[in-house]
Structure 1
Amino acid sequence: MLPFSLYSSWLCTLTLVSFLTTQVQGCAGLALQSTNHETVTTSRGYVTGYAGHDSRRFVVPYAKAPTGARRFQDPVAPSSFKSAFDASGLPPACPQPGLENISEDCLFLTVYTPAGVTRASKLPVLFWIHGGSFYTGSTTSYGLDGAELANAQNIVVVTVQYRLGLLGFMRNDALSLYGNYGLKDIIMALKYVKSDINSFGGDASRVTLVGQSSGAELIKTLLVTPSATSLFARAILQSAPLDFSDQTVTIGNRIGHLAASDLNCTKIACLRGASVDSLLDSQASIIAQGQQGGLAGLPAMGSFIRPVVDGKLVTRDFNTAVKKGETLEGSAKKLLFTTMKEEGALAISGLMPSALPSAAFDPIVEQFYGDRAASIINSDLYSPSLFSGNDSTRDAFVSLSTDYSWTCPNQQSAVNITRAHQKVFLGQFNLGISYYNRTNSFTADRATHQDDIYALFHPTSIGLTRAQRALVKEVQARWAGFVKTGSPNAVGYRTWWPVQSRSNLNVLLLGNGVRGNSAVTDQQRTAECAIGKGVYSSA
C-alpha cells in the first residue's frame, strides 16, 4: 500500500486570489454611466456594475441563495430587484476548503463586456465554467478576470459559480436528495444568459461553453443533458479528463449515505441544519476514503463527488455514449477539445514529491490502473528506462498519466464523435503559462494541467516570454473565432481542420515552435492510444 501522501487529489484545485453602487436614473433599455459605474436595465430591474477604462463588469445573482429550506434543492430563479442592484463588487466563493471568503449565497455570474457596448451590439458570448475537481474553485480564482479577453476580442465573457462538493452533488434517495445541484445551477445560469444577456450587449443565440478540467467535465455532462441543448451553440473542453465517467445512481447514493452517516443525520432537516464546516469535514473524509481505495468501484485517481447519471436530467454517461457511437444531444454543435503536452506533471508532482527508483514503477501501476496494469506494463511504452535523467520514473508516470487520463480519451472521443457526423477540433498545448506553481522545479518548464488558463485569460500582471505572448495572441484569436462563427481559424494563422479519422486527426500543436507558433500533425501518440481498455481503445 502506498503512503497516504501519494493519494492527494489527482486533479488539482484552483486558488482564490472589489466597488459601491451609485444613484441610478434614466430610460429603460439604455446604459447610463457615472464615475466607475455603469447601469443597464434587465428583465429583473436595474443592475449597476463597475466600469473600467476598457471594459465593464457586472456581478449578478442568477438564483436565490440556496440556504435554509433551499439547501439541497434545485435552484430557484431570483425575484425582481426592488431598487438598483449593486453588481460592482466580487462574489464570495461557494463553500470549499482552504478559503475564508465563502458563503452558501454564492450563485452569481460575472459578465465582462467591452466599454461602449449597447443592447444593439449583440456580441457573441464565451461562458466559462471553472474547474477544481467539483469541490473547489470560483470565478474570483486568480487569472479568471475576463476583462482583458472581452476587450481584446470584442466579445462578452461570462464566468459562473455553482454549488460544489456535497452541497452541489450529494445524492441520497432515502432522504429525497437527488443530486446534480451544481449542474442544475449551471443550467439555471445559462437560462439567465438566454433571457438577459442582450441587456449587457450579448447575443443569446451565440453562447459557447468553455471549461477547464472538471469545468470541462461538466460541459461533457451537459452534452448528454437534453434540457440544456437549446442553451448553448457550441463548446470548448480544455483538459477534460475524459477517462473518468460520471457516477451511477448506486455510487452516488453510497457516497450520500456515507455523508449522512458521518453527520449523524437520518432526516433531511438534519442535513439542512448542519453547519458548513461539518459538511466540509464530512466531504474531506469521503475524499480521503476514496483516495485510499476505500470506495469500491471508484478509481483512486478520480473525483469522488461529481454528477450522477440519473436517467432524467442526465440521460446517459458521455463516455459510454461516445464509445458506442451514439449521437450526442445537439449533434450539430461543433466541439473543440484540447489537452496539455505533459498534462499529468502537476498531479505527479503532488502524488510523488521526490524521485522514485525504477523498481517502484510496476507496483504503482498495478495499484492505480487495476485491470489495465498488465497491458501498460507489457507494452514497454512507459518503462522508466526509456526516459533519460535522474527522475526517469516520475517522467514515465507523467507520460502515462497524461496519455491515460487526457490525451488518449480525448483523441478517441473526438474520433468516435466524428464517426457520428459531429465536427470536433483537436488541439494540444505544447507550451503553457505556469498557473500558480512556477517555483516547482518539476513542473516549471512543462506544459501541464492548468497552464492553459492564462493562455486564454492573459492576466496582465505576469511577465511572459516572446513565445508565450504569441501563444496568448493565437489562443485568444482562435477561441474568439470559434465563439463568433464556429471556426477556430483566424487571419495570419495556419488552417485548423476538424478531425477526419483516426489516421487524419488534424491536431493543432499550440506553442509548438521556439517563437510560440503552431503546427499541425495527423497523428498523436498512436501506439500509446491503441493499448489497454477504456474509451480510448481502438474499438
Structure 2
Amino acid sequence: MLYPSSWITKTLLLAGIAVSSCDALAIRAVGDKIAVTTSKGSVSGYAGSVANRYVVPYAEAPIGARRFQDPVALSAFKAYDGSGLPPACPQWSIDNISEDCLFLSIYTPTGATSSSKLPVMFWIHGGSFYAGATTNYGLDGSELANAQNMIVVTVQYRLGLLGFMKNDGLRLSGNYGLKDVIMALNYVKTEIKAFGGDPSRVTLAGQSSGAELIKTLLVTPSATSLFARAILQSAPLDSHDQTIAVGNSVGVLAASYLDCTTLACLKSASVDSLLNSQAGVVYSAQANQIAGIRVPESPIRPVVDGKLVTREFRSVVASGQALEGPTKPLIFTTMKDENALAISGLFAAPIPASDFNGDVALFFSERADTIINSGLYDPSLYSGDDATRLALTDVGTDFSWTCANQQTAINVTAAGQTVYQGQWNLGVSYTNRTNSFTAFKAAHQDDIYAVFNPTSIGLTRGQSALVKEVQARWGAFVKTGSPNSASYPTWSPLASGSNLNLLVLGNDTVHGTSATSATQRTAECAIGSGIYTLV
C-alpha cells in the first residue's frame, strides 16, 4: 500500500508539523573543534561564537539485532568526533535519516568548565511521535545557552513504528522511544558535569508531543529521579497514552501492512517499507478505523504497559492522585490560536457554516452535542467570510489544549504540585509560515522560536520583547524552579480554579509585554467536564 507525498504532507500539517526539505540543514557544522573528557571517552565538539556544541551518542545504535529492542547503554570509546550534526531518526520529508540516530546535542556557554555546575534544560522535540529531530529549525540551543548561562540539551529518540510499535504476539514491548529518552536522561545524570552542568538541576522542556512525553515521564517511576522540574508547551492533554489493547491493535495492523508474521520479518524490513506501513496506520486512524483512537490523535504514542509506564496521566490527574515521586514545579503553556495550523491544513479555504456541526462531531464525537448546544462556537458569532474555520479553530484550541491544560493544572495543584500556567497571545511564526489563515495568530509551534531565538529570524518590536521575557523566565525556572525575574512582574503559581494567576505572554502584541489574569475561557472550559469526558 503506497501513500502519495501530497497525502503525507497534509497529514504532517494536520499533526502540527512544518514540512520542509531543508529541515536537516537548519544547523550548520563549521568552525573549530574543542574537546571534553567524559567517563566514556573524549568528545570533540564545535566551538561556536557564543556557545559550544557537542553531538554525542547516548546509546548503542539501535540497528540490526537491536531494532525493536530496548536501548543499550553506550560502550566506552577512546575518542568521538561530535563536531558534526546527527542524522534524524527515520521519518518522512527529511533526506538525512538513519536508524543510528540516538544522539544528544549539548550546547554550553563558551566559558563553561567541568566545575561550572550550570543548570540544564533538556528539550524534547515534538512531531506527533513520528517526526522531528534536533536539527529542526529553531532548535539550535546556542543563543539560549549564552543568554541564560545554562546548558541546553536537545534529544533525538526513535520515532514512529521503530519507536513505539507494540505487538505482544511478535514480542514487541513498545515504548522504545520513551525508553530512549530515559536512557538519555541517565546519560545526562552521569556525564553532564563534564560539560559544565549540574545533574541535580535538570529541567525537562518540550513542545507538542515532546511535552506529551514529559507528561508520561511525570508518572513513570524509573524517570522521577532524573529531573527536578518541567516545562510543557502546547501539550495536547486531551489525548491520552494507549492501553495495552489499543497498542496491540495498532501493532497488529502495522505488521499486516508489512505482511510480517514473525519478529525476524520486522527486523529485516526496509526502512521505506516500515515508513509506508506507518503511513497506512496513520491513514487508518484519521479515517476513524482504529477503535480507541480519535480522529485528531496520533496512533503512534506511548502505551501504559504496567511495567515501565504504570499509570495513565489523565486518569491520575482526573482522580486527584499525586504524580510520581517528589513534587516538582511545573509550567503549562498553550497558544491562543493553537488549532489554527491544523485547521489551515485541513481546510485550505473558507468553508460554509453548514459544515460546522459535522466537523465538530468528527473530531469531538463524545462531546459534540454539548459543544454545539452551548452556542458558544456558533459560526454566526464570528465576523468575516471565514467564520466557520475560526469557530473550528476555537473548538480545537479549547478542547485539545486550553481547557485540558487548565483542568490538569487545577487538579495537580490540588494534589500538591506547584504549577505556573501561561498562554501565548503572541508568537513567532514557525519557519516563516506564509499561510494567510495563521497570519497574525499565535498558532501551534509559534512558541519554539520565542524560546530558542534563532538569530536568522527577523522579529518585530513586540516579538523581540517577548523573546527576552520568555528566555528570562524560562532561564530563572531552570535555575531556581521559579519563573520570575527582577525585570518582569511576578508570575504566581495557580491558586485555584477561580484564580489561575494565568500569565498572558505577549498580551500587548505591539510592545510584547505580558499581563496576568485570574480566569481563562471560563464559559468554554465549563462545558462538560473538560478532558475527563472521554472514558
TM-score normalised per structure 2: 0.95
Matching residue of 1:529:
525
Give the drift of 1:130. Answer: 0.1
Residues 252, 293 of structure 1: alpha-carbon distance in 2 compared, 3 angstrom cutoff? same
Any conservation in 2 of the 1:478–1:488 contact (CA below 8 Å)? yes
CA distance in 1, matches of 2:111, 2:276: 47
> Is 1:223 aligned to residue 218 of structure 2?
yes
Q: In the alignment, does 2:324 pair up with 1:323? A: no
**Could you say what secondary structure the match of 2:194 adopts?**
helix
Q: 1:480 corresponds to which residue? A: 475
What amino acid sits opposite 1:524 in the alignment? Q
Which deviates more, 165-174 or 528-537?
Answer: 528-537
Deviation at 1:264, TM superposition (A): 1.2
* Corresponding residue number in structure 2 for 1:314: 309
In the alignment, structure 1 residue 8 sits paired with structure 2 residue 11: yes
2:40 corresponds in structure 1 to: 44
Residue 106 of structure 1 aligns with which residue?
A: 101
Counterpart of 1:32 in structure 2 is none
* Residue 289 of structure 2: aligned partner: 294
Contact 1:7–1:300 (Cα < 8 Å) also in 2? no
In the alignment, does 2:53 pair up with 1:66?
no
Amino acid at match of 1:12: G
Contact 2:114/2:197, CA 8 A, preserved across alignment = yes
Structure 2 runs not aligned, ≥5 long: 1-6
Q: Is the 8 A contact 1:530 1:536 kept in 2?
A: no
Instruction: Give the match's secondary structure for 2:364.
Output: helix
Q: 1:5 Cα shift?
A: 10
* Equivalent residue number for residue 499 of structure 1: 494
* CA deviation profile, 1:307-363 (whole Å, cap 9, x unmatched): 000011001110111010000013420100000000000000011111011111111
Aligned to 2:409: 414
Tell me how far 1:534 sits from its aligned partner: 4.3
1:259 aligns with 2:254: yes
SS at match of 1:206: strand
Among 57, 74, 77, which residue is 2:73 paired with? 77
Contact 1:6 1:352 in 2 (8 A): no
Alpha-carbon deviations, 1:272-321, whole Å to 9, x = none?
A: 00000000000000100110111122100001110000011001110111
Distance in 2, matches of 1:115 and 1:420, equals 41
Taking the aligned partners of 1:486 and 1:242, their CA distance within structure 2 comes to 22
Q: Percent identity at matched positions? A: 65
Distance 2:58 2:304 in 1: 25
Tell me how far 1:486 sits from its aligned partner: 0.2
Distance 1:461 1:436 in 2: 11
Cα distance change, pair 174–5 in 1 and its aligned pair in 2 (3 A): closer
Q: Give yes or no for the alignment of 1:55 onto 2:59.
A: no
Per-residue Cα deviation, 1:123-180 (whole angstroms, up to 9, x for no partner): 0000000000000000000110000100011000000000000000000001110000
Question: Does structure 1 residue 391 correspond to structure 2 residue 399?
Answer: no
Q: Which residue is equivalent to 1:152?
A: 147
Distance 1:411 1:536 in 2: 12
For residues 293 and 429 of structure 1, the distance between their equivalents in structure 2, rounded to whole angstroms, comes to: 32
Is residue 234–residue 333 contact of structure 1 (8 Å, CA) maintained in 2?
yes
Question: C-alpha separation between the residues in 2 aligned to 1:257 and 1:42?
Answer: 42
Tell me the SS of whatever aligns to 1:85. strand
Q: Partner of 2:246: helix, strand, or coil?
A: helix
- The 8 Å contact of residues 60 and 73 in structure 2, kept in 1 or not, is answered as yes
Q: Structure 1 CA distance, aligned partners of 2:431 and 2:9?
A: 21
Matched, 1:164 2:167: no
Verify the 8 A CA contact 1:59 1:89 in the aligned structure 2: yes
| Cα distance between partner residues in 1 of 2:224 and 2:130 | 25
What is aligned with 1:334? 329
Write the deviation string for residues 182-219 of structure 1: whole angstroms up to 9, x where unpaired.
00000000000000000000000000000000000000
Mapped pair 1:356 → 2:359? no
Distance 1:518 1:534, change over 3 A: closer
Match of residue 266 from structure 2: 271
CA distance in 1 between partners of 2:443 and 2:532 (Å): 21
Mapped contact 1:411–1:536 kept (Cα < 8 A): no
CA contact (8 A) 2:403 2:530 kept: no
Task: Compute the RMSD of aligned alpha carbons.
Answer: 1.6
- More displaced 10-residue stretch of structure 1: 527-536 or 37-46: 527-536
| 1:516 aligned partner | 512
Alignment counterpart, residue 237 of structure 1, candidates 232, 235, 250: 232
Shift of 1:367: 2.0
Give the counterpart of 1:142 among 129, 137, 140: 137
Shift of the alpha carbon at 1:263? 1.0
Measure the CA separation in 1 of the matches of 2:398 and 2:531.
12
Q: State how far apart, in whole Å, the 2-side matches of 1:194 and 1:375 are.
A: 47
One-letter amino acid matched to 1:135: Y
SS in 2 for 1:527: helix
Partner residue, 1:128 = 123
How far off its partner does 1:533 sit?
4.0
Distance, in Å, in 2 between the alignment partners of 1:421 and 1:347 is 35
Contact 1:207 1:231 in 2 (8 A): yes
1:14 and 1:136 in contact (8 A); partners too:
no
Q: Give the total of aligned pairs.
A: 521
Whether contact under 8 Å (1:320, 1:535) holds in the other structure is no
Q: Give the Å deviation of 1:536.
A: 5.7
Cα distance in 1 for residues equivalent to 2:306 and 2:372:
37
2:3 aligns with: none
Q: How far apart are the structure 1 equivalents of 2:17 and 2:363? A: 21
C-alpha distance in 1 between matches for 2:463 and 2:110: 27
Q: Which stretches in structure 1 are left out of the alignment for 5+ residues?
A: 21-34
CA distance in 2 between counterparts of 1:66 and 1:440 reads 38
Looking at structure 2, the residues matched to 335 and 213 of structure 1 have their Cα atoms a distance apart, in angstroms, of: 16
Aligned counterpart, 1:181:
176
